[in-house]
Structure 1
Amino acid sequence: MIGKRLKSARAASGLSLRALSNAMGHKVSAQAIGKYERNEDMPGSSVLIALARALAVSVDFLLSDDELELEGVEFRKLASSSAKEEAMIEAKALSCVEKYLAIESLLNLSSQDWDEPQGAPYWVNDPRDAEDAARNLRDAWLLGKDPIPMLSELLEEHGIKVFSLDVDRVDGLAAKVRRKGKHSARVIMIKKHTWSERKRFSLAHELGHIVLKVAPGCNSERAANRFAGAFLVPAEVLRQEIGTKRTDISLGELVSLKDRFGVSIQALTYRCKDLEIISQATFGRLFDIYRERGWRDAPFKEPNSLEWDVEEPGRFRRLCFRALSEGHIGLSRASELLEIPVRRLEEQLDYVT
């Protein structure tokens, strides 16, 4: 029965029952599609193909009996994000994870499971405990104190499935993906078209949701933010760079630190406040300047901003290219997995070779 798969694909597309019927050229009614989703009826082959085409998924996806479910979903979002938008993102995330797991399975890769670091999850009773958690994770992953050049690649090396979506009011999502008879996968979604320094903070924030165990009564978002700052900008290194106490700090110095650590000027300012390097008064004065210059409003462009594709996850794309080259999949299947036209895929393959 295809009910659950069909409903998930429709949610990911953002289509209503009526809109899906329209997209299919009224091949069947909205009421008929509702019956398919409730498993009260089964579409014929021609309708099944039309459904798959309208939803940009394969017929195999709709017919698959694999059971994948998102658990423990954590969003980094604006207050204006809607329940419908969040449901669409969750469904899209599940679809992306399934494709990712399928291509790993085709290639017989052993890196499908989340490589949980020693000591995790790290218990947090107060957001300040996230400092120790970030330090412990860096030690577990042998990262030292140096800035992390490509965070998305690092996370994927440790078994987290990372992908980006073209969304508006959600910067990130972290979740477990429960798989029948297998270990749960871990997934992080980030907003595609935003500055890469913001992507990096979102990645670290969502990583915090994965590795932290936040005590009741402790604000999990504040804990994840503190973890992200500590993971990207270790306290010892920042204090060595700018000192332990400052009465003032110039924008030029903050831009230089941004270039070094790959995080926004605003995140660095929060980091200085959290570590009590600057006072609350200095913090407030700096943020007044950021508001005046428009850095607090979309598109959040600061000096020396990193373009969106600098921190774009690439492992899934590479695996699709590999599977295609090794004959596990054809051009049409690779095009479907990567969600790009065949002609564009052929151009990319020609460029790579």
Structure 2
Amino acid sequence: MIGKRIKGARAASGLSLRALSDAINNKVSAQAIGKYERNEDMPRSGVLIALSRALGVSVDFLLSDDDLELDGVEFRKSASSSAKEVAMIEAKTLNMVEKYLAVESLLNLSSQNWDVPLEAPYWISDPRDAEGAARSLRAAWQLGHDPVPMLAELLEEHGIKVLSLDVENIDGLAAKVRRKDRHSARVIMIKRRTWSERKRFSLAHELGHMVLNVAQGCDPERAANRFAGAFLIPAEVLRQEIGSLRKDISIGELISLKDRFGVSIQALTYRCKDLEIINPSTFGRLFKIYKDRGWRDAPFEEPHSIAWEQEEPDRFQRLCFRALSEGLIGLSRAAELLEIHVRELESRLDFVA
């Protein structure tokens, strides 16, 4: 088991075998680390401590026999995402989920079940079918037609683990987390430092992957996008706001709608096209404007962009604070779980010795 742990932590850190050997001041060779990863040898205690420090994980993590695996992984990523980057994100996600589940276990909280509607997964043979799926999920979660103010918190309330990681070419990931002799947990990972309107769409997109059963021949990414638009911008409300058929729509009106729904101007424009509120010609003209103004390119800053901090998941941090206050973990362990320095943790806690 330790071999799998070392290899996963190394993948999460993006280190090669040689780089990891260098990071531990060549206490052992790259070949020796390869043997550890293949479970052909066991590191002595000094090497184990050095590996844990270099990889940013605890010795207990490396020695744990809790066998976690990501299953049914769905990515929202750019075409430039490399296989190495994908593997690194999967490993980071798995490491974070394990910490999350460990804290829940300390607090005797249920960590496995999420609030999946009885009708789910919703069968989709055409992306347009996602409209009904989004309405059904909103009804099951009693959301009405109002915009969702904090989507990450809503998903956490319904039992989905939401993680935020510093990544480049990947906007989101959804997966099951399988544990030995236990039910699967559900996780969604989102890119941390991007505008919150983009985070919200990624969260809704990954939620779509979780609740849709897409028929063969139907593009699952298009279906998840259609679901995200319908979940964040209910058709009834949008039509009530702007009408059922428009020959034109101004940027100012779209900015006002962006403030109401917490989504990007581009997502709103796609939504108007999908609902046939605007025709393809108007859609194309608007997107030419967005391209000319630089909104289609990184860093994707539109007018009234919402700061990245506004849609950050916070439950895991709250659980760590609670475990610390109840004396279940110490300050250094809490900082390790949150992957911050002790001084930063003290600042967040407004700590008084």
Following superposition of structure 1 onto structure 2, how do residues 244-263 of structure 1 map, counting pairs within 5 Å?
244-263=244-263
Find the residue that maps to 1:146 and give its secondary structure: coil
What's the offset of the Cα at 1:351? 6.4
Find the residue that maps to 1:171 and give its secondary structure: strand
Q: Could you tell me which amino acid in structure 1 is paired with residue 147 of structure 2? A: P
Name the counterpart of 2:307: 307
Name the counterpart of 2:326: 326
Name the counterpart of 1:29: 29
What's the offset of the Cα at 1:111? 4.8
Q: Could you tell me which amino acid in structure 2 is paired with residue 28 of structure 1? A: V
CA distance in 2, matches of 1:251, 1:137: 31
Count of matched residue positions in the alignment of Structure 1 and Structure 2: 353
Q: Could you tell me which amino acid in structure 2 is paired with residue 108 of structure 1? A: N
Name the counterpart of 2:108: 108
Name the counterpart of 1:47: 47
CA-to-aligned-CA distance 1:148-192 (integer Å, 9 cap, x gap): 000000000011000111111000000000111111111000000
Name the counterpart of 1:177: 177
CA distance in 2, matches of 1:60, 1:111: 20
CA distance in 1, matches of 2:79, 2:352: 42
CA-to-aligned-CA distance 1:241-290 (integer Å, 9 cap, x gap): 00000000000000000000000000000000000000000000000000
What's the offset of the Cα at 1:112? 3.8
- In structure 2, list runs of 5 or more residues that go unmatched: none
What's the offset of the Cα at 1:348? 1.2
Name the counterpart of 1:219: 219
CA distance in 2, matches of 1:114, 1:42: 38
Name the counterpart of 2:67: 67
Name the counterpart of 2:210: 210
Find the residue that maps to 2:34 and give its secondary structure: helix
Q: Could you tell me which amino acid in structure 2 is paired with residue 141 of structure 1? A: W
Verify the 8 A CA contact 1:104 1:112 in the aligned structure 2. Answer: no
Following superposition of structure 1 onto structure 2, how do residues 92-241 of structure 1 map, counting pairs within 5 Å?
92-241=92-241
Verify the 8 A CA contact 2:134 2:231 in the aligned structure 1. Answer: yes
CA distance in 2, matches of 1:69, 1:112: 14
Find the residue that maps to 2:224 and give its secondary structure: helix
Name the counterpart of 2:8: 8
CA distance in 2, matches of 1:226, 1:168: 24
Q: Could you tell me which amino acid in structure 2 is paired with residue 83 of structure 1? A: A
Find the residue that maps to 1:184 and give its secondary structure: strand
CA distance in 1, matches of 2:178, 2:352: 35
Verify the 8 A CA contact 2:111 2:185 in the aligned structure 1. Answer: no
Verify the 8 A CA contact 1:164 1:189 in the aligned structure 2. Answer: yes
CA distance in 2, matches of 1:290, 1:351: 46
Q: 1:23 to 1:101 in 2, by over 3 A?
A: same
Verify the 8 A CA contact 2:112 2:183 in the aligned structure 1. Answer: no
CA-to-aligned-CA distance 1:59-102 (integer Å, 9 cap, x gap): 00000000110001011000000000000000000000000000
Q: Could you tell me which amino acid in structure 2 is paired with residue 211 of structure 1? A: V
Q: CA RMSD of the aligned region, Å?
A: 1.1
CA distance in 1, matches of 2:60, 2:307: 36
Find the residue that maps to 1:27 and give its secondary structure: coil
CA distance in 1, matches of 2:351, 2:124: 47
CA distance in 2, matches of 1:162, 1:117: 19
Q: 1:204 to 1:301 in 2, by over 3 A?
A: same
CA distance in 1, matches of 2:351, 2:263: 31
Find the residue that maps to 1:178 and give its secondary structure: strand
Give the TM-score, by structure 1 length: 0.99
What's the offset of the Cα at 1:114? 1.7
Q: 1:320 to 1:114 in 2, by over 3 A?
A: same
Give the TM-score, by structure 2 length: 0.99
Verify the 8 A CA contact 1:290 1:296 in the aligned structure 2. Answer: yes
Q: Could you tell me which amino acid in structure 1 is paired with residue 166 of structure 2? A: D
- In structure 1, list runs of 5 or more residues that go unmatched: none
